[in-house]
Each structure stands twice: as structure tokens, then as C-alpha cells.
Structure 1
Amino acid sequence: MKPVKPAKSISELLAATTARAMPVVRGVEAGDLAAPTPCADYDVRDLVNHLLHVIVNFQALAAKQDSDFSTTPDRVSAAGEDAGWQELFTRETDRLVAAWAEPGAEEGSTGTLGLPARTVGHMVLGDLTVHIWDLARATGQAYEPDPDVVAELGPALDDMAPMARKWEAFGEPADVPDDASPFERLLATTGRDPRWSPAR
């Protein structure tokens, strides 16, 4: 019998995602901030602010502390539209990885809904992975997520999709061809069209 490969920790998966995210983040220029993204309600600035807000709050959730999603600060403007926000993004993702590496981060439950901590970890892993794809598409960059992350997230996002649609975090699933890749299927689960590109 083939031995079962142990699941990677949320921290390990976040580190792998961050490593592939940072080239995309660094490739965003100040002139891109008003560009549309696959998230219809967000331009690039809004998307980055949303993602930074998620990253900061999920540091707190890893420590079983309260989170606050009531308002989204404009961290891009506060940090600086050139390289400032990118440096902030680097620092905050490093803190996110470290927070989920702390002993007990994946144990028990966390958040106001009392969800299992690893499920909450999947949420931020999914946000980071999918929104970096959004950012790459919006700014004409290549992005290929880590295969282990996709393998972990596919079933996890399938499981949470009904709840996410109820919260309007996911759209209705998009159609994909039979030969779609695992990542394209993952994107479709969240309501994204993997073929999306900015209107020319």
C-alpha cells in the first residue's frame, strides 16, 4: 500500500503561495491601480486594499483573536502608491505565515462563527491564491499557483462553496471545459471565468 502523504500545514501552504504571489505584487505599477479586475466591484487598488485587510485580520484569527471586517482601510494610499504598499504587503504576508506557524494555530476553532481553525486557514489561503490570480490578470502578468496549494484548496473550496455563496463571497460556478486544469476548476468554483481578461 502506498503511504499516505501527510498534509502540509497552513503555514507551509501560505509560504508557498506567498513566494509565487510576490513577483505579481512587485509587477503592479502605480498606473495599474485604477485598472478593472475579475472582481467586478474592485479595481486594482480596491482589490489590494481588500487583500491586505484579509491578510491582517487572518493574522488575528490564527491567534484566536477577534477580527474586524466592518470597514476596509486604504492601506495603499497610506503606505504609498509606488513601492510603499508592496513593501507593506511583504511584511504583512510574512506576519501571516508566522502567525499560522505558531503552536496551536490550526487547533480548535476560531472566528465569530467558531469554525475549525484549519477551515479558517483554508479561507485565507484561498483568498490569497485566487486574488493574486485576479491581480495578475488585471495587470497582464503570468501566475501559476503552487500545485500542492491547488490540491489542498480544490476540495476545501468545494466544501465551503455553499456557505460562501450564501455570504456572497463566491459567485455562481462558472462553466469550464472537460479538459480544464485543477486550478481553472478551482477558479470556476469561486464564480470566476478562467478566461477573463481586461476589455481592450
Structure 2
Amino acid sequence: MNTTTDPRPLLARATAQLAELVATVPAERLGDPTPCEEFDIRGLLAHLVGGLEAGALLGETGEPRRLAPVTDVPDDGWAAAYEAGRARLAAAWADDAKLDMAVAVPWGEMPGRAYLASGCVLETVAHTWDLSQALGHPLPLDQELGEYALEWARQKLTADRRGEGVPFGPVRPAPEDADAYGRLAAWLGRTV
């Protein structure tokens, strides 16, 4: 999957898939744990919506903002909040010139296209697995997106790049029958 020219279609697929999954979350499950140990489902959704807002702001202004989870979403409002954030992110990066704009993010400076192809897509796909796992896998997942994120993670987040300051644990083994998302989760330090 080549995203060197324009990663926005891939990001749109990843966020559309996650939006569909977010829409299945019942309010009574918001306190349930996720494989991402620092978050329950509510916390994960807050993190995801906050990430969309930070990515949109970066595209709108070129200025990085510290990722902050949102706290003002009612229990029955997560699907709408995610959709609004997703639309804002797409609009913020709609101008083709922004793909070559240099952006500063916590892991370095890079062109906008690299930020979208790596950080945004990887984050979305990884947390799609987290949410899907927490909910008992209510929807099939796009394996091509999982393979893309896994390939990127193996190249850029090598097993020796773990530890202090890195938000991923040591690589863990994945079951032999794990799909692309399960292999990605294990690579990022989740127990599959």
C-alpha cells in the first residue's frame, strides 16, 4: 500500500472503520477495560477524540498541541464527537500543499504526509484493535489497514526502541493464528 503520494485516503478508511466501531459502544460499557492498560473504553474514546483535535489543529495552524483527552462528551455522545473530529481532521488536511508542510511532533519534524501516514494511521489502527478487543470484536476489521500499520511499525518502531519515553512495551509473541491487528498489537507490546 503506497502512501508516499497521498496518505489521506488511507487515513479516511482507518477513521471510517473506527467511527463504525465507536458507534457500537453502549454507554453501559464505557467503564470496561481495554488492552491499552492506561485506558478504559471511555478513556480510550477521550484519547482518540483528543488525538483528532490535535491532528486537526496541526493541519489548520501548523502548530503542535499537546494531546489532551476530551472530557466534555456525554456518555451517549462519543460517536458524534468522533465523527466531528474526523471531519475536522479531514478538512484541516484537505489542501494538497499541507502534505509537504513541515510539522513538529513529539517524535521529530517531518512533512505532513509522513505525519498522516505514520502517526495518524498507526494510532488509529492500533486503537481500533484495542476497542474491538474490549467489545468482543463486533465488526470485521480491514486487514489491509492492519498489514500497513504492522509493516510501518516494524520498520520505524523496532524492538530495540522501547523503554523510557516510548509509549510501547516490549514486543510480545502473537498467536500463530493472529490476524494483522493481533500481530500489530503484540508488536506494540499488548498481550494478544
The residue aligned with 2:130 is 134
Q: Normalising by structure 2, what TM-score?
A: 0.83
Candidates 41, 48, 69, aligned match of 1:44: 41
Give secondary structure in 1 for the equivalent of 2:98: coil
8 Å CA contact 2:57–2:63 kept in 1: the answer is yes
The residue aligned with 2:75 is 81
The residue aligned with 1:100 is 93
Q: Identical aligned pairs, as a percentage?
A: 25
8 Å CA contact 1:60–1:66 kept in 2: the answer is yes
Q: Normalising by structure 1, what TM-score?
A: 0.80
Compute the RMSD of aligned alpha carbons.
Answer: 2.4
Structure 2 residue runs of 5 or longer lacking an equivalent are none
Pair 1:186 & 2:184 matched: yes
CA distance in 2, matches of 1:30, 1:178: 34
Query: Residue type matched to 1:100 in 2?
Result: W
8 Å CA contact 2:47–2:68 kept in 1: the answer is no
8 Å CA contact 1:133–1:143 kept in 2: the answer is no
Superposition misfits of 4+ residues, deviation over 6 angstroms: none
CA distance in 2, matches of 1:165, 1:12: 33
Candidates 135, 138, 153, aligned match of 1:157: 153
Shift of residue 68, structure 1, vs aligned partner: 2.2
Query: Residue type matched to 1:96 in 2?
Result: L
CA distance in 2, matches of 1:57, 1:70: 6
Query: Residue type matched to 1:129 in 2?
Result: V
Pair 1:109 & 2:102 matched: yes
Equivalenced residues, count: 186
Aligned in 2, Cα 1:179/1:115: closer, same or farther, shift over 3 Å? same
